[in-house]
Structure 1
Amino acid sequence: MITALRDAWATLVPDLSDRPENRHGPLPPLLVALTVVTGLVDAFSYLVLGRVFVANMTGNVVFIAFALAGSPDFYLAASLTALAAFALGALLGGRLGVRFAAHRGRLLLAALAAEAVLVLAAYLCCLLLPHAESGHARYVLVVLLGLAMGAQNAAARRLAVPDLTTTVLTLTITGIAADSRLAGGSDSRIGRRLLSALSMFLGALVGGLAALHGRTGLPLLLAAVLLVLAAAALARPSRSTPPWTRTAA
């Protein structure tokens, strides 16, 4: 337990000195924040837009199969739209990765800015469009959020901070069990892995409560605020070039 807490603390409050061994600088806590964003956004998309994910593409692939099998509870067009938008967003994130390949801080800052604009646009759609959860408005929201989450996932992949992919937990949870002392491992990075899972859980919980018991677009507003705060936190570090800004080994 002490090891897990120490590891989680080091993830949330990393050593920001310029020593070469500090390979990820301020990136880990920012990626934890993005994991919370994923929970918020997917809670909104699933609960408000109707059984479609905009970040969890594994779920959408399964939903497409269910729809093709004849289930009336899943919507083929919505899942296909989310999948296409996510792929296009990942393409955008990939281009940002090439553009800012020499500086991981600037890469994440660019991705955060793009994502914040898209999520804010989705929130405004909720405010301005009647019945945003149905009809054409629903697909506008799916596209905007799919683009945002695809760009986020591509940027996180390029940053390559272990166990902080921001949208996928399957391998993270596998690592918690497979690397545990019960399995003969050393509990490597267990605190970070547990923190990643907890972050998505908390984002989904808060997003679910906001969507079901608050205003429809409230999860998106909360996600946008987190994105803006993360971008603000990264603005100053992105002006310098300490060792962590270079491509991860």
Structure 2
Amino acid sequence: MRRPTPVGLYTSGLLLLTAATGAIDAVSFLALDGVFTGNMTGNVLFLAFALVGVPDIPLLNNAFALVGFALGSVVGGRLVRRGHPVGLPARSAWLLVAGTALVFVLVGVWAAVGELAAVGQITLTAVLAALMGAQVAAVKPVGNTDITTVVVTSTLANVTRESRLGGGRQTGAQWRHRTFAVLAMGAGAAVGAAVLRVADGPVALAACGVVFAAGVTVLLVARGRPRRPARPQEDAGREVAGASARQEAVGLAAG
């Protein structure tokens, strides 16, 4: 039986983190007053609704989620830095491990406090959003732009726009990565919502933490394995993808 390659393990780890984002967003939206902690597009829209007076939109929660995500991304970017070879640098690994521990610390605090008041909800929302922002920065060096782990709108657009029906050309790997990313986000959200139907918020967040920890574990295993040389068909796939990107850039410049 052939061992999984580092590239395959990195892909699996990113997909698990995407599923974890969907699960955490389900918990934050359904149990923390209608706020997303990973998908910031929804929070931007909710914040705009609240600013023009739409009732029952949690203005502070959405604002703190946006600020928390941005701060987490800034801190993560500073810690991980740039210029790494493709893969998971040591700083990213430590940041992801710390993030995993933080999720379970939050589970313990939430379970100990019980029903959260408004301040507790806002605090938990901001910390979870910061974790999601830092996670994005941590996995950036892996270099798989088809799996962003926190948003699938652009992923869905790419997989359809660059399909044969859309008149584009994408490799089999690109199609799989993009499609599975969308499915992983939905599956994670379903898991988070399903657990909330039968248990309370801390238990649901703990389930999210298990998925997150699984993704981090797979990434750490991938980091410990040397990359094999690319096969000719993989090189050809990259050339096709590169040619498609160049043609798109030329078309944009001409327009």
TM-score range, shorter chain: 0.7 to 0.9
Q: Which deviates more, 65-74 or 158-167?
A: 158-167
Deviation at 1:236, TM superposition (A): 4.8
Q: Kindly tell me: are residues 155 and 193 of structure 1, through their superposed partners in 2, closer, same or farther at Cα, counting changes over 3 Å?
A: same
- Structure 2 residue aligned with 1:220: 205
Output the CA distance in 2 between the equivalents of 1:173 and 1:96.
30
Pick one of 169, 183, 205 that aligns with 2:152.
169
Q: Kindly tell me: are residues 158 and 237 of structure 1, through their superposed partners in 2, closer, same or farther at Cα, counting changes over 3 Å?
A: closer
Deviation at 1:150, TM superposition (A): 0.6
- Structure 2 residue aligned with 1:230: 215
Output the CA distance in 2 between the equivalents of 1:165 and 1:191.
14
- Secondary structure of the residue that 1:181 maps to in structure 2? coil
Q: Which deviates more, 227-236 or 57-66?
A: 227-236
* Residue segments in structure 1 that go unaligned for 5+ positions in a row: 1-12, 17-23
TM-score of the pair, normalised by structure 1: 0.81
Deviation at 1:217, TM superposition (A): 2.0
Output the CA distance in 2 between the equivalents of 1:178 and 1:234.
29
Deviation at 1:235, TM superposition (A): 3.9
- Secondary structure of the residue that 1:228 maps to in structure 2? helix
Is 1:126 aligned to 2:116, yes or no?
no
Q: Kindly tell me: are residues 209 and 179 of structure 1, through their superposed partners in 2, closer, same or farther at Cα, counting changes over 3 Å?
A: same
Whichever residue aligns with residue 203 of structure 2, its letter is: L
Output the CA distance in 1 between the equivalents of 2:85 and 2:163.
35
Deviation at 1:125, TM superposition (A): 2.2
Output the CA distance in 2 between the equivalents of 1:126 and 1:185.
48
List aligned pairs for 1:201-216, cutoff 5 A.
201-216=186-201
Output the CA distance in 2 between the equivalents of 1:48 and 1:148.
18
Q: Report the count of equivalent residues.
A: 225
- Structure 2 residue aligned with 1:81: 64
| Bigger Rg, which one | 2
Q: Kindly tell me: are residues 95 and 29 of structure 1, through their superposed partners in 2, closer, same or farther at Cα, counting changes over 3 Å?
A: same
Q: Kindly tell me: are residues 108 and 29 of structure 1, through their superposed partners in 2, closer, same or farther at Cα, counting changes over 3 Å?
A: farther
* Residue segments in structure 2 that go unaligned for 5+ positions in a row: 230-241, 243-255
TM-score of the pair, normalised by structure 2: 0.79
Is 1:101 aligned to 2:84, yes or no?
yes
Output the CA distance in 1 between the equivalents of 2:122 and 2:55.
18
Is 1:15 aligned to 2:10, yes or no?
no
* Structure 1 vs Structure 2 CA RMSD: 2.4
